[in-house]
Amino acid sequence: MSTCRRLHVTVRTARGLFVSRRQTRLCGHLPSSQSLSTGTLLRNDFFKDLESQFSAMRKKASDALPGSSWSPLQINSNLPPERADIVIVGGGVVGWSIAYWLKQKERVRGGVKVLVVEKDLTYSQASTVLSAGGIRQQFSLPENIHLSLASADFMRNINEHLGVLNEDPVDLQFNHSGYLFLASEEVAHIMEENYSTQRNAGAKVSLLSPTQLKEKFPWMNTDGVVLASHGLENEGWFDPWTLLNAFRRKALSMGAIQCCGEVTDLKYRTSRILSADGDEMDLRRIGSVKVQMPNSLEYQPVECAIVVNAAGASSARLPEMLGIPLPVEPRKRYVYVVHCPDGPGLDTPFLVDYSGVYFRREGLGGNYIAGMSPEEGEEPDTSNLEVDHQFFEDKVWPRLASRVPAFEKLKVTSAWAGFYDYNTLDQNGIIGMHPLINNMYFATGFSGHGLQHSPAVGRAVAELILDGDFTTLNLSGLGFRRVLAQEPMLERNIV
């Protein structure tokens, strides 16, 4: 085994304006300042700085490994490998689900080297952990219904899939209270059509008249409600963090590799191709990704055959590096935690009102979470995750209180905001390979439903990569064709 290791350092010039890179090969021993000084840009104080950083690292390594002499291989044990077959950018629930399924499907144990790169292991801004945790079959597109059915089945048997020997079983804290959609006169016909699509796809949903609704949920004011649909099976909510960690734990146990770093650049080659219409187009092929280490000047290029874009709300940045646009952007959504001692009880479903407001129970003891999407054109600023409390006062609370009179007396106890990975074309997932990027697969743009679909989406992406096509669920409708043709596949009654 070679004892050589490349160290990549970002260097500031004297004026501190321009950032350049330098690559050094370390063999056996640390290089002296002299052996590094091949460039002319570097100033002497840089070497002093570098040498003192090396000393600190040497000390850290010897402290960590008492009794063993320092070796350059331990410069930064967190660096990713220099090569991987598949690099997944983004270690949210979608990224880790894909990693799990790739390892699950590989034909030879250890045959596929899968690296998951996540820039923030605290997940402070990841949509997964900031979501409402809901799963429903009540969609209008068969693709989404089937994704939900398959994912619910996976979650029901989660320990068969994600259980790890000698580790605690996974407990998703799944609450089976279902979703309850309310329809006004205006949209009742859509609800009826959706209902038959859902039933045809195998979902267990029932329609309720306002009288039946009032009998079942006496705490509700049914004014304005003409029809309701209630999920009877496979619907409710669960703990997103547990699902993410379960995928991660299992994938790691199967040999996937994780690295904390940010993919900040892609190296690629371009070749000219002719489209079916005879137009010349550039086809990109990625050769390596640049992984920048956190709080450090170090980075590591990772050569790879395939890149998977599971970077959630910021996934457009990766194709942008190749000059390719992606209609996915962050859109801020607020979740308010409220307390109401006299609010609806244990059988409370995840209620979605036709006014756009939703709420569900959050544990026991009169706690709930609630929210709604803003009007198009009133989208909040996405430069931070601050919560707009006035939005609750003006928009959310009046609608909540009009549907559930007990909510007149609620108190907001806390709130948070998260980013939807919002697909501006049609608010649905984009799954598959871009026709102009030869080796980047996408799994993004799920808007408000990426968490619940992650188990089936991970399997679908692994099929595309390892089998060359979808083999269980045909999700070709969610591919790039509609994006390039600008033919939205819209959900009706979306939340």
Select from 448, 455, 458, 479 the one that contacts ligand FAD (CB under 6 A). 448
Closest CA to 264 of 225, 299, 215, 212: 299
CB of 166 to ligand FAD, least distance (A): 28
Give the C-alpha separation, 347 to 370, whole Å. 17
Residue 175 found at the interface with ligand FAD (CB under 6 A) = no
Q: How far is the CB of 451 from ligand FAD (least distance, A)?
A: 3
CB of 294 to ligand FAD, least distance (A): 10
Binding residue (CB under 6 A) for ligand FAD from 61, 79, 84, 117: 117
| 225 interacts with ligand FAD by CB under 6 A | no
Q: Does 249 bind ligand FAD (CB under 6 A)?
A: no
Q: Token pair 């409600």 is at which residue?
A: 225
For residue 229, how far is the Cα from the chain centroid? 29
Q: What does each C-alpha distance from 399 to 270, 343, 388, 394, 408 come to in angstroms?
A: 53, 15, 17, 9, 10
CB of 309 to ligand FAD, least distance (A): 9
The residue (of 180 and 335) whose beta carbon lies closer to ligand FAD is 335
According to DSSP, residue 126 is labeled -
Nearer to ligand FAD, 370 or 451 (CB): 451
Interaction pattern, residues 334-363, with ligand FAD; x per rule: CB under 6 A: -x----------------------------
What is d(CA 431, CA 480) in angstroms, rounded to the nearest whole number?
A: 7
Rounded distance between C-alpha atoms, residue 389 and residue 410, angstroms: 14
Q: Is 455 near ligand FAD (CB under 6 A)?
A: no
CA distance 420 to 427: 10
Distance CA 40, CA 78 (A): 30
Phi and psi angles of residue 246, each rounded to the nearest 5 degrees, phi first: -65, -45
What are the φ and ψ backbone dihedral angles of 213, each rounded to 5 degrees?
A: -60, -45
The CA distances from residue 163 to 135, 156, 168, 243, 244, in Å, are: 21, 12, 8, 12, 13
| Binder of ligand FAD out of 9, 30, 130, 147 (CB under 6 A) | 130
| Contacts with ligand FAD, 404-433, as mask; x by CB under 6 A | --------------xxxx------------
Of the pair 42, 316, the CB lying nearest ligand FAD is at 316
Q: Judged by CB under 6 A, does residue 215 bind ligand FAD?
A: no
Return the residue matching tokens 């146990």: 253
Sheet holding 179-183, edge to edge: 205-208, 227-231, 179-183, 350-352, 358-361, 367-371, 328-339, 411-423, 446-447
Nearest to ligand FAD of 75, 93 (CB atom): 93
In 120-245, beta strands by DSSP E: 134-135, 179-183, 205-208, 227-231, 236-237
Q: Which of 9, 115, 220, 311 binds ligand FAD (CB under 6 A)?
A: 311
Residue 310 found at the interface with ligand FAD (CB under 6 A): yes
Q: Least distance to ligand FAD from the beta carbon of 53, Å?
A: 24
- 42 versus 86: smaller Cβ distance to ligand FAD: 86
Q: Min. distance of Cβ 313 from ligand FAD in angstroms?
A: 6
Are 89 and 237 in contact by the 8 Å Cβ rule? The answer is no
Min separation Cβ 281 and ligand FAD, Å: 26
Only segment of 130-138, 173-181, 215-223, 321-329 that touches ligand FAD (CB under 6 A): 130-138
Tokens of 351: 């209620």
CB under 6 A: which stretch of 23-31, 51-59, 114-122, 376-384 binds ligand FAD?
Answer: 114-122
Torsion of CA 164, 167, 171, 172, to 10 degrees: -50
Nearer to ligand FAD, 99 or 335 (CB): 335
Nearest residue (CB) to ligand FAD, 70 versus 241: 241
Which residue stretch of 35-43, 113-121, 192-200, 407-415 sits at the interface with ligand FAD (rule: CB under 6 A)?
113-121
Contact between 263 and ligand FAD by CB under 6 A: the answer reads yes
Nearer to ligand FAD (CB atom), residue 313 or residue 461:
313
Minimum distance of ligand FAD from residue 50's CB (angstroms) = 26
Phi, psi (rounded to 5 degrees) for 100: -60, -50
Please name the residue ranges forming H helices in 11-141: 33-36, 44-64, 93-105, 127-130
Burial class of residue 381 in the structure, from the number of CB atoms within 10 Å of its CB (0-12 exposed, 13-18 middle, 19+ buried): exposed
Q: Which of 268, 368, 392, 446 binds ligand FAD (CB under 6 A)?
A: 446
Instruction: Summarize as ranges the residues that interact with ligand FAD (CB under 6 A).
Output: 89-95, 117-120, 123, 126-128, 130-134, 262-263, 310-314, 333, 335, 418-421, 444, 446, 448-452
